[in-house]
Amino acid sequence: MSNKMWGGRFGEGPDAIMEEINVSIDVDRHLHAQDIAASKVHAAMLAAQGIITADDAKNIGRGLDTILSEIRKGSFDFKRALEDIHMNVESRLAELIGAAAGRLHTARSRNDQVATDFRLYVRDVIDQTDAAFADFQRVLATRALEHAGTVMPGFTHLQTAQPVTFGHHLMAYVEMAARDRGRFADARKRLNESPLGAAALAGTSFPIDRGATAKGLGFDRPMANSLDAVSDRDFVLETLSAAAIASTHLSRFAEEIVIWTSPLVGLVRLSDKFTTGSSIMPQKRNPDAAELVRAKTGRVVGALTALLIVMKGLPLAYQKDMQEDKQGAMEAFGALSLAVRAMTGMVADLVPDEARMKVAAGEGYATATDLADWLVRTLKIPFRDAHHVTGRIVAAASKQGVALHELPLSAMQAVEPRITRDALAMLSVEASVKSRTSYGGTAPKNVSAQAKAWLRRLEKEQKLG
C-alpha cells in the first residue's frame, strides 16, 4: 500500500528495508513540542491571510493542543509507518478534526517544517545550556572566594612550576565557561531566523506572511533565501562546535580531578556522592563521575565531525542525508548537559587538602622565580643573569637535598655575594602568591575581587532573566 501522505505518485508501498532506513520518528519525536508550536503559528497566519478559514484554524489549533497533551501524558501512539513527527501529528490531527487537518500543510513542506522545528529545538538547547554553565560559574566562583588564599602548586608540563591559589585555579574555569557561553550566544544570534514559508525549496505562490510566523515563533526575521532556508544546517554545526569546545574544557577539569584525587597526589577529596567503589577491591574510591565527563567529550566531538562529513558534499537544496543531522546532535547536547551538571556537583562537593596543597606548592623549587625577581628588583641584575644565578642556587640546594628556603644564606652568597637575608622572605609559597598582584595574577586579593565581581555579574544576569 502506498503512503497516504505522499503516495499519489506510487502504486505500491516501500520495501521493509526502505521503510526501516527511511523512518525517523524514533529520533524526531523529540521535536514534538517545536513541531506543534510551529504548526499553530502557521495555521494562524494562514487564517489571517485568508488562505484558510478562521474556523479551520481554530479547530487545527485545538486539535494540536490535544495532541501535545496526549504526547506529554504518554498516550500518543507514534507510528513508524508514518515516518516522522510531522506525519504522525498530521495523521492524528485528521482523526481529531477531520478533513480540515489537510489544510494545515498549505504553503509549507516537510523541508521547511523540519528546518524550523530543529532550529527551535537547538535554540531551546542553547538557552538550557547557558543556564547550566551559569550555575557552573556560580559554584566555581563561590568556591574560589572560599579558597582565594589556599595555596596549591601551579603546573606546566604537569611539573610543579610556581605556587598559585586554589581559588585562582577555579577562576580559570569561570573564564573558560564565560567564553563557552559567549560562543553559544553567538550561535543563537545567527540561528534565530525562520525557515518557515520557504516550502520545499522555492517558496510558495500563496500570499503568506513569513514575518508574522517568524515573530510568532520568537525569530528575529525570516531567512532571506528559500534554498538556503531548507538546506542550511550551519546552526547545528555552530552549536555543536561550541559544545565541543565547552566539553573539552570540562574534560580538562575532569582530568585534573582524576589526578588530584589519586592517593599518589592527594590534593583533593570527593565524597561518596561522586565516587564509586570496586566489585573486588573494598578500599577503592574511584572518581567515575569525572572519568565519565572526560569520556562524554568524545561523543560531542564525534557528533560535530559526523555532521560535518554528512554536509560536506551536499548540493542545494534539501537532501535526505540531512535526516542524519538530529540523532548525533541530540545525543551530544544531552551528553554536554549531563557533563556540566556533574562537574557543577563535583566542584561543590570536592574538599581540598590544604596542608598537602601547601607542601606540594613548595616542592620542586617552585619559588625559584621569586628569587630571580628579587635579584632583578633589588640588585638590578638583568633577568637573564638573575635566571642563571638562581639556577646555580637551585642546583646547590638540590645537591644538599634541601628546599630552596632551607639553603643557608652563606651558600647563596657563595653564588651571588650581594644576596641578603631579605631575599629569604620571598621564598615562602605564601609570599610568592601574595606578590603576584598583576592584573589576572594569583594574589589572594586579586582572586577575591574577581570572584566577587563574577558573583555580582551572575546575580544580575539571574535577576534580568
Strands (E), 227-341: 268-269
The pLDDT of residue 403 = 87
Residue-wise pLDDT tens digits, 359-375: 999 998 999 999 999 99
Per-residue CA distances from 104 to 32, 51, 69, 70, 144 (Å): 16, 10, 19, 19, 55
Distance CA 355, CA 370 (A): 22
Residue-wise pLDDT tens digits, 436-454: 999 999 999 999 999 999 9
C-alpha cell at 221: 526575521
Catalytic residue among 75, 157, 205, 279: 157
Distance CA 112, CA 318 (A): 9
Which pairs from 440-444 meet CB under 8 Å and 24+ separation?
Answer: 441/168, 442/154, 442/163, 442/164, 442/165, 442/168, 444/148, 444/149, 444/165, 444/167
User: Residue 62 class from Cβ within 10 Å (0-12 exposed, 13-18 middle, 19+ buried)?
Assistant: middle
Helix axes 54-73, 85-97, angle to 10 degrees: 120
CB 144 within 8 A of CB 447: yes
The pLDDT of residue 345 = 97
Sign of CA dihedral 183, 187, 188, 189: positive
Q: Which residue has the cell 542550511?
A: 232
32 catalytic residue (yes or no): no
The pLDDT of residue 1 = 35
One-letter amino acid identity for 453?
A: A
The pLDDT of residue 8 = 59
The pLDDT of residue 383 = 96
The pLDDT of residue 2 = 45
Catalytic residue among 2, 69, 262, 278: 278
Q: In terms of DSSP H, where are the helices of 147-207?
A: 166-191
Report strand pairing: 221-222 vs 268-269.
unpaired
278 catalytic residue (yes or no): yes
**Length in residues, the chain:** 465
What parts of the chain have a pLDDT lower than 70? Answer: 1-13
Q: If residue 348 lies in a helix (H) or strand (E), which one and from where to where? A: helix 327-349
The pLDDT of residue 13 = 67
